[in-house]
């Protein structure tokens, strides 16, 4: 404990011994650094928030357009189903009985006879699967240009067909994944359903990419289940399984809405994203320029403060030299040159105050004693120099001179009281003392003459 206190005291002495100029400069740099960091943090945060808000406002229109493109792609299944049903090839094919003679479901990877030509298909057909269903709700033929397997629920669509509104696309969940379905039924002259065409597409990465088209291929959208991505228009950037928490750090999510286009029973959501890199780059450029301007301004302010500090400390040092010289020459004080300028000035001022208070006390005590007839007190001038020593010695000389004159007159008057007329006062006084001495001698001489005449 004692060692700790000693070490702390030693550190305090080391700190006090540092020049006032250095202390002020270090304090200036420290305050400037703290202010710089605080302003940079608050300004950067405010500027980034401002740009994010403004960017979100600016991107509201593109986000709405993304949703419109998605909705249009969903509705295109309904329009495609209507167009296929109006084609003569389809009507002629389903009007015959050959397609009903198949016991097993026929899978086509090339265009079947009941679909339009390839040129027409490329223009408007976007569905992943096309199913030809008989009047009993049994799937007879399936067209899918990729050799992937259909969900089993699509091969037995009886329950699905009961839910459909044939005038629009239908969003539903098949085996836990969202699908777009569109159906159109072909009736004969007796208004009996002969065949039903169903177009189906999973709302997956491929569907979202196709919905954005070539012109909007750089647009980033996704399908969300809760806070998890299940499909996106760019699987490399937003792979399935990505959570919203990680996306919010890199992207500005400009629109989140439920899939309510057409008839829908799904709880998935559609979201549009914009990377914040551009905004961050712009903010960094602005902050970089602002940092340069702030650095120049801070440099000017710090330099001005440093020059002002140097001027003030120079004045303080010059004043301190005068005070130290006065205390040494006039009061006999040898100040300890330890600590900075303010510490030395404080210590010298206190020592000067104590010395002057002591000297003035001695003078007051000496004069008060003389006032009451005590001429033995003296001012102690052993440790004084200059003006204060002269003042003390002059006071002492005044008391000594006054004491000598009074004692000299007292000696003569005492002899006179005893009838001795031969005593004389000294004749080496000056001023009023000389006059008093002269009057005393004249008085003695007159008394002596009177006594002589009487005799």
**CATH number, position 140:** 3.30.450.20
Instruction: For tokens 């030693």, name the residue.
Output: 10
Q: What is the pLDDT of residues 299-310, one digit of tens each?
A: 787 788 778 877
Q: What is the mean pLDDT of the chain?
A: 78
**Is residue 190 domain-shared with residue 157, that is, in the same domain?**
yes
Q: Is the predicted pLDDT of residue 289 greater than 70, yes or no?
A: yes
**Is residue 284 domain-shared with residue 358, that is, in the same domain?**
no
Per-residue pLDDT, 16: 59
Q: Residue 162 — pLDDT band, cuts 50, 70, 90?
A: low
Tokens coding 274: 């914009």
**Is residue 124 domain-shared with residue 245, that is, in the same domain?**
yes
**Contact call for residues 290 and 36 (beta carbons, < 8 A):** no
**Is residue 114 domain-shared with residue 226, that is, in the same domain?**
yes
- Give the number of other Cβ atoms within 10 Å of residue 63's Cβ: 23
Q: How far apart, in Å, do the first and last CA atoms of the chain sit?
A: 97
In the chain, the number of structural domains is: 3
**Is residue 448 domain-shared with residue 377, that is, in the same domain?**
yes
Residue 6 lies in a domain: no
Per-residue pLDDT, 158: 72
Domain boundary, last residue among 294, 324, 354: 324
Q: Residue 33 — pLDDT band, cuts 50, 70, 90?
A: confident
Measured CA to CA, the distance from residue 27 to residue 25 in angstroms comes to: 5
Look at 350 and 196; give whichever has higher pLDDT.
196
Q: pTM of this prediction?
A: 0.54
Average pLDDT over residues 1-16: 47
**Is residue 44 domain-shared with residue 90, that is, in the same domain?**
no
Estimate the crossing angle of helix 386-417 against helix 341-371, to 10 degrees. 10
Per-residue pLDDT, 7: 45
Q: Residue 254 — pLDDT band, cuts 50, 70, 90?
A: confident
Looking at residue 243, the DSSP 8-state letter turns out to be B
Name the residue range of residue 287's domain. 19-54+279-324
Q: What is the pLDDT of residues 78-135, one digit of tens each?
A: 888 888 888 888 888 888 888 878 778 888 888 888 888 877 777 777 788 999 988 8
Per-residue pLDDT, 148: 72
**CATH number, position 389:** 1.20.120.1530
**Is residue 84 domain-shared with residue 230, that is, in the same domain?**
yes
Q: Residue 255 — pLDDT band, cuts 50, 70, 90?
A: low
**Is residue 314 domain-shared with residue 362, that is, in the same domain?**
no
**Is residue 109 domain-shared with residue 203, that is, in the same domain?**
yes
Highest mean pLDDT among 148-157, 221-230, 266-275: 221-230
**Contact call for residues 170 and 163 (beta carbons, < 8 A):** yes
Residue 263 lies in a domain: yes
Per-residue pLDDT, 11: 45
Per-residue pLDDT, 3: 46
DSSP for 420-439 reads -------S---HHHHHHHHH
Domain boundary, last residue among 242, 257, 275: 275
**Is residue 206 domain-shared with residue 115, that is, in the same domain?**
yes
Q: Is the predicted pLDDT of residue 371 greater than 70, yes or no?
A: yes
**Is residue 97 domain-shared with residue 219, that is, in the same domain?**
yes
Residue 398 lies in a domain: yes
Residue 335 lies in a domain: no
Q: Residue 215 — pLDDT band, cuts 50, 70, 90?
A: low
**Is residue 218 domain-shared with residue 123, that is, in the same domain?**
yes
């Amino acid at each position: 404990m004692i060692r700790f206190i000693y070490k702390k005291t030693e550190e305090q002495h080391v700190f006090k011994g540092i020049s006032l100029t250095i202390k002020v400069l270090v304090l200036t740099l420290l305050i400037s650094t703290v202010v710089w960091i605080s302003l940079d943090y608050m300004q950067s945060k405010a500027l980034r928030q401002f740009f994010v808000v403004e960017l979100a406002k600016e991107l509201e229109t593109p986000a709405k357009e993304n949703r419109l493109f998605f909705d249009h792609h969903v509705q295109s299944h309904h329009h495609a189903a209507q167009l296929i049903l109006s084609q003569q090839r389809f009507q002629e094919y389903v009007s015959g009985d050959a397609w009903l003679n198949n016991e097993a479901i026929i899978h086509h990877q090339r265009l079947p006879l009941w679909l339009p030509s390839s040129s027409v298909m490329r223009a408007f057909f976007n569905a992943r699967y096309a199913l030809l269903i008989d009047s009993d709700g049994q799937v007879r033929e399936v067209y899918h240009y990729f050799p992937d397997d259909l969900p089993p629920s699509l091969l037995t669509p009886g329950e699905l067909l009961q839910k459909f509104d044939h005038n629009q696309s239908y969003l539903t969940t098949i085996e836990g994944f969202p699908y777009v379905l569109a159906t159109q039924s072909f009736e004969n002259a007796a208004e009996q359903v002969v065949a039903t065409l169903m177009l189906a597409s999973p709302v997956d990465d491929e569907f979202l990419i196709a919905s954005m088209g070539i012109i909007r291929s750089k647009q980033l959208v996704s399908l969300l289940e809760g806070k998890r991505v299940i499909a996106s228009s760019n699987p490399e950037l937003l792979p399935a399984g990505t959570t919203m928490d990680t996306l919010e750090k890199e992207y500005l999510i400009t629109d989140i809405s439920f899939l309510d286009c057409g008839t829908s029973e799904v709880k998935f959501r559609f979201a549009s994203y914009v990377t914040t890199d551009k905004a961050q780059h712009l903010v960094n450029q602005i902050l970089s320029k602002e940092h340069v301007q702030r650095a120049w301004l801070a440099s000017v302010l710090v330099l001005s403060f440093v020059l002002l500090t140097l001027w003030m400390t120079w004045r303080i040092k010059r004043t301190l030299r005068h005070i130290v010289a006065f205390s040494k020459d006039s009061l006999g004080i040898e100040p300890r040159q330890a600590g900075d300028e303010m510490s030395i000035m404080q210590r010298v001022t206190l020592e000067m105050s104590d010395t002057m208070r002591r000297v003035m006390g001695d003078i007051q005590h000496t004069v008060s004693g003389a006032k009451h007839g005590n001429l033995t007190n003296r001012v102690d001038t052993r440790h004084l120099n200059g003006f204060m020593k002269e003042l003390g010695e002059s006071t002492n000389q005044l008391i000594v001179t006054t004491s000598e004159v009074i004692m000299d007159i007292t000696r003569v008057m005492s002899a006179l009281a005893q009838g001795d007329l031969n005593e004389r006062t000294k004749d080496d006084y000056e001023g009023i003392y000389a006059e008093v001495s002269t009057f005393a001698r004249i008085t003695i001489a007159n008394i002596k003459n009177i006594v002589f005449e009487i005799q």
